Amino acid sequence: MTGITGWIGQIYTEGRYPKGIIQRTHKVGDKTFIEKVLPIDSVQEYLSTFPVLEIDYSFYRLLLDEKGKPTQNYHVLRSYRDYLTGKDSVILKVPQVITARRLRRGGAFVKNETYLNPKIFTEQFYKPVVEILGSTLRGSIFEQEYHLKKDRFEADQLAKDLDTFFSKIRKTAATILSSARRPI
Protein backbone atom coordinates (compact mmCIF):
# COMPACT_ATOMS: atom_id res chain seq x y z
CA MET A 1 0.00 0.00 0.00
CA THR A 2 1.10 3.52 -0.55
CA GLY A 3 -0.05 7.06 -0.06
CA ILE A 4 -2.16 8.54 2.66
CA THR A 5 -5.79 9.34 1.99
CA GLY A 6 -5.35 12.82 3.47
CA TRP A 7 -3.67 13.75 0.18
CA ILE A 8 -6.75 12.94 -1.91
CA GLY A 9 -7.67 16.07 -3.81
CA GLN A 10 -4.12 17.45 -3.41
CA ILE A 11 -1.82 14.76 -4.84
CA TYR A 12 -4.27 11.97 -5.61
CA THR A 13 -7.35 12.35 -7.83
CA GLU A 14 -10.65 12.50 -5.98
CA GLY A 15 -12.69 9.32 -6.52
CA ARG A 16 -9.92 7.42 -8.30
CA TYR A 17 -9.26 4.77 -5.62
CA PRO A 18 -12.53 4.17 -3.71
CA LYS A 19 -12.36 0.36 -3.84
CA GLY A 20 -8.63 0.18 -3.23
CA ILE A 21 -8.46 2.08 0.07
CA ILE A 22 -7.59 -0.18 2.99
CA GLN A 23 -8.31 0.69 6.62
CA ARG A 24 -6.00 -0.48 9.38
CA THR A 25 -6.52 0.02 13.09
CA HIS A 26 -3.50 0.87 15.23
CA LYS A 27 -3.13 1.22 18.96
CA VAL A 28 -0.53 3.46 20.54
CA GLY A 29 -0.65 3.36 24.31
CA ASP A 30 -4.30 3.61 25.25
CA LYS A 31 -5.32 5.43 22.05
CA THR A 32 -6.65 3.76 18.92
CA PHE A 33 -6.62 5.29 15.44
CA ILE A 34 -7.58 4.24 11.95
CA GLU A 35 -5.12 4.57 9.10
CA LYS A 36 -6.49 4.71 5.56
CA VAL A 37 -4.02 3.68 2.89
CA LEU A 38 -4.22 3.95 -0.88
CA PRO A 39 -3.42 1.00 -3.18
CA ILE A 40 0.07 0.49 -4.58
CA ASP A 41 -0.91 1.65 -8.07
CA SER A 42 -1.37 5.16 -6.64
CA VAL A 43 2.42 5.39 -6.73
CA GLN A 44 2.14 6.36 -10.41
CA GLU A 45 0.13 9.43 -9.52
CA TYR A 46 2.51 10.25 -6.65
CA LEU A 47 5.53 10.07 -8.97
CA SER A 48 3.83 12.37 -11.46
CA THR A 49 4.00 15.06 -8.74
CA PHE A 50 7.18 14.21 -6.82
CA PRO A 51 10.52 13.17 -8.37
CA VAL A 52 11.45 10.60 -5.70
CA LEU A 53 9.54 7.95 -3.79
CA GLU A 54 10.88 7.28 -0.30
CA ILE A 55 9.78 3.93 1.08
CA ASP A 56 9.88 3.66 4.84
CA TYR A 57 8.09 0.35 5.51
CA SER A 58 11.42 -1.33 4.69
CA PHE A 59 12.66 -0.02 8.06
CA TYR A 60 10.56 -2.57 9.93
CA ARG A 61 11.48 -5.85 8.23
CA LEU A 62 14.23 -7.32 6.06
CA LEU A 63 13.38 -8.40 2.50
CA LEU A 64 14.65 -11.93 3.01
CA ASP A 65 14.50 -13.94 6.23
CA GLU A 66 17.49 -15.75 7.72
CA LYS A 67 16.85 -18.72 5.41
CA GLY A 68 16.76 -16.50 2.31
CA LYS A 69 12.99 -16.72 1.89
CA PRO A 70 11.10 -13.58 0.78
CA THR A 71 9.27 -11.68 3.53
CA GLN A 72 6.09 -9.65 3.16
CA ASN A 73 8.23 -6.56 2.46
CA TYR A 74 9.88 -8.34 -0.47
CA HIS A 75 6.50 -9.07 -2.05
CA VAL A 76 5.21 -5.53 -1.48
CA LEU A 77 8.36 -4.05 -3.07
CA ARG A 78 7.93 -6.35 -6.09
CA SER A 79 4.37 -5.02 -6.40
CA TYR A 80 5.68 -1.46 -6.46
CA ARG A 81 8.05 -2.40 -9.28
CA ASP A 82 5.06 -3.13 -11.52
CA TYR A 83 4.16 0.59 -11.41
CA LEU A 84 7.64 2.07 -11.81
CA THR A 85 9.31 3.22 -15.00
CA GLY A 86 13.01 3.47 -15.73
CA LYS A 87 12.91 7.23 -15.10
CA ASP A 88 11.45 6.89 -11.57
CA SER A 89 13.61 7.24 -8.46
CA VAL A 90 13.22 5.25 -5.26
CA ILE A 91 14.99 5.54 -1.91
CA LEU A 92 14.45 2.95 0.84
CA LYS A 93 15.09 2.95 4.56
CA VAL A 94 17.51 0.28 5.67
CA PRO A 95 15.87 -2.07 8.21
CA GLN A 96 16.29 -1.15 11.86
CA VAL A 97 17.76 -4.61 12.58
CA ILE A 98 20.80 -3.27 10.73
CA THR A 99 20.82 0.42 11.71
CA ALA A 100 19.70 0.44 15.36
CA ARG A 101 22.07 -0.18 18.25
CA ARG A 102 19.12 -1.20 20.37
CA LEU A 103 15.74 -2.68 19.46
CA ARG A 104 12.47 -2.58 21.34
CA ARG A 105 11.61 -6.09 22.45
CA GLY A 106 8.91 -6.94 24.98
CA GLY A 107 8.47 -3.33 26.10
CA ALA A 108 12.19 -2.77 26.72
CA PHE A 109 15.18 -1.77 24.62
CA VAL A 110 17.79 -4.48 24.19
CA LYS A 111 21.17 -4.56 22.50
CA ASN A 112 20.87 -5.33 18.79
CA GLU A 113 23.26 -8.14 17.95
CA THR A 114 22.85 -7.46 14.20
CA TYR A 115 23.79 -3.75 14.35
CA LEU A 116 25.65 -2.82 11.15
CA ASN A 117 26.07 -6.47 10.18
CA PRO A 118 27.50 -6.39 6.62
CA LYS A 119 26.37 -9.92 5.71
CA ILE A 120 22.75 -9.33 6.74
CA PHE A 121 22.74 -5.97 4.96
CA THR A 122 24.07 -7.31 1.65
CA GLU A 123 22.27 -10.67 1.56
CA GLN A 124 18.91 -9.94 3.20
CA PHE A 125 18.41 -6.33 2.13
CA TYR A 126 20.69 -4.79 -0.49
CA LYS A 127 20.95 -7.62 -3.01
CA PRO A 128 17.18 -8.22 -3.22
CA VAL A 129 16.51 -4.45 -3.34
CA VAL A 130 18.84 -4.03 -6.31
CA GLU A 131 17.42 -7.10 -8.04
CA ILE A 132 13.85 -5.81 -7.63
CA LEU A 133 14.32 -2.09 -8.29
CA GLY A 134 17.16 -2.10 -10.82
CA SER A 135 17.93 1.38 -12.13
CA THR A 136 15.16 3.06 -10.11
CA LEU A 137 17.12 2.59 -6.86
CA ARG A 138 18.79 5.88 -5.99
CA GLY A 139 19.87 5.32 -2.41
CA SER A 140 19.25 4.00 1.07
CA ILE A 141 18.53 5.84 4.30
CA PHE A 142 20.33 4.72 7.44
CA GLU A 143 17.93 6.02 10.09
CA GLN A 144 19.13 5.93 13.66
CA GLU A 145 16.78 5.06 16.48
CA TYR A 146 15.82 7.73 19.00
CA HIS A 147 18.04 7.97 22.07
CA LEU A 148 17.29 9.60 25.37
CA LYS A 149 19.96 12.14 26.23
CA LYS A 150 21.43 9.84 28.88
CA ASP A 151 21.75 7.00 26.32
CA ARG A 152 23.29 8.94 23.43
CA PHE A 153 26.68 8.03 22.08
CA GLU A 154 29.27 10.28 20.55
CA ALA A 155 28.93 11.26 16.89
CA ASP A 156 32.58 10.28 16.40
CA GLN A 157 31.74 6.72 17.44
CA LEU A 158 28.82 6.54 15.00
CA ALA A 159 31.06 7.85 12.22
CA LYS A 160 33.68 5.23 13.07
CA ASP A 161 31.06 2.45 13.14
CA LEU A 162 29.63 3.52 9.78
CA ASP A 163 33.09 3.85 8.24
CA THR A 164 33.91 0.28 9.31
CA PHE A 165 30.57 -1.00 8.01
CA PHE A 166 30.85 0.73 4.62
CA SER A 167 34.43 -0.42 4.15
CA LYS A 168 33.25 -4.02 4.71
CA ILE A 169 30.36 -3.83 2.23
CA ARG A 170 31.97 -1.61 -0.42
CA LYS A 171 33.29 -4.33 -2.73
CA THR A 172 30.29 -6.67 -2.33
CA ALA A 173 27.79 -3.85 -2.83
CA ALA A 174 29.61 -2.65 -5.95
CA THR A 175 29.53 -6.18 -7.40
CA ILE A 176 25.81 -6.55 -6.63
CA LEU A 177 25.06 -3.16 -8.14
CA SER A 178 27.04 -3.71 -11.34
CA SER A 179 25.58 -7.17 -11.97
CA ALA A 180 21.95 -6.20 -11.33
CA ARG A 181 21.78 -2.56 -12.50
CA ARG A 182 19.34 -2.71 -15.35
CA PRO A 183 16.34 -0.71 -16.42
CA ILE A 184 12.90 -1.88 -15.37
Q: What is the DSSP pairing of strand 108-111 with strand 22-28?
A: unpaired
Question: SS3 of 85, please?
Answer: coil
Summarize the confidence of residues 163-174 as an average pLDDT: 89
Summarize the confidence of residues 120-127 as an average pLDDT: 96
Query: Ramachandran region of residue 97, left (φ > 0), alpha (ψ -120 to 50) or beta?
Result: alpha
- pLDDT tier at 133, thresholds 50, 70, 90: very high
Cα distance between residue 76 and residue 78, in whole Å: 5
pTM for this entry: 0.85
Which run of H or E residues covers position 140? strand 137-141
- pLDDT tier at 176, thresholds 50, 70, 90: confident
Instruction: Show Cβ contacts of residue 70 under 8 Å, excluding neighbours closer than 6 positions.
Output: 63, 64, 128
Q: How long is the chain?
A: 184
Dihedral angle sign, alpha carbons of residues 139, 88, 125, 170: negative
Summarize the confidence of residues 8-25 as an average pLDDT: 88
Q: Is the pLDDT of residue 179 over 90?
A: no
